[in-house]
Amino acid sequence: MTTHNQERLLQVLLAPQISEKATYVADKHQQIIFRVVSDATKPEIQAAVELLFKVQVESVQVLNTKGKQKRFKGQIGRRKSWKKAFVCLKPGQEINFAEGGPQ
């Protein structure tokens, strides 16, 4: 973690991804899903989660999500593409967003 700039780590995670699939993955595989900046790397994501939530991360998987094509007043446009990170915590570790902090 010493190789990463702390200011950069605070900007890597954008928001937790809250959805039915995210809840299912959290229950079944003990993973938490985050929206991250599109140029974030796996080591940066791991270091950011460990820094912000004071938990130990076992692994990180990333997924690039393409923006959906949408129409507005007859014009075709596209939403922004974004990156999703699946963060697997070590056994016994937990992040509870409802209480607003680490457990």
Residue 1 belongs to some domain of the structure:
no
- Our measurement of the distance from residue 72's CA atom to the centroid of its chain's CA atoms, rounded to an integer in Å, reads 29
pLDDT in tens, 13-49: 999 988 899 889 888 888 899 999 999 999 999 999 9
Does pLDDT of 87 surpass 60?
Answer: yes
- Domain CATH code at residue 28: 3.30.70.330
Contact by Cβ (8 Å): 40, 86: no
pLDDT at position 5 is: 83
Q: What is the mean pLDDT of residues 71-77?
A: 93
The range of the structural domain enclosing residue 82 comes to 6-92
Q: Which of 61, 60, 81, 56 is nearest to 69 (CA)?
A: 81
**Residue 102 belongs to some domain of the structure:** no
The number of folded domains in the chain is 1
Q: What is the pTM of this model?
A: 0.80
Q: DSSP strand E in 10-98: where?
A: 13-16, 31-36, 57-65, 69-72, 75-78, 82-89, 95-96
Please report whether residue 98 resides in a domain.
no
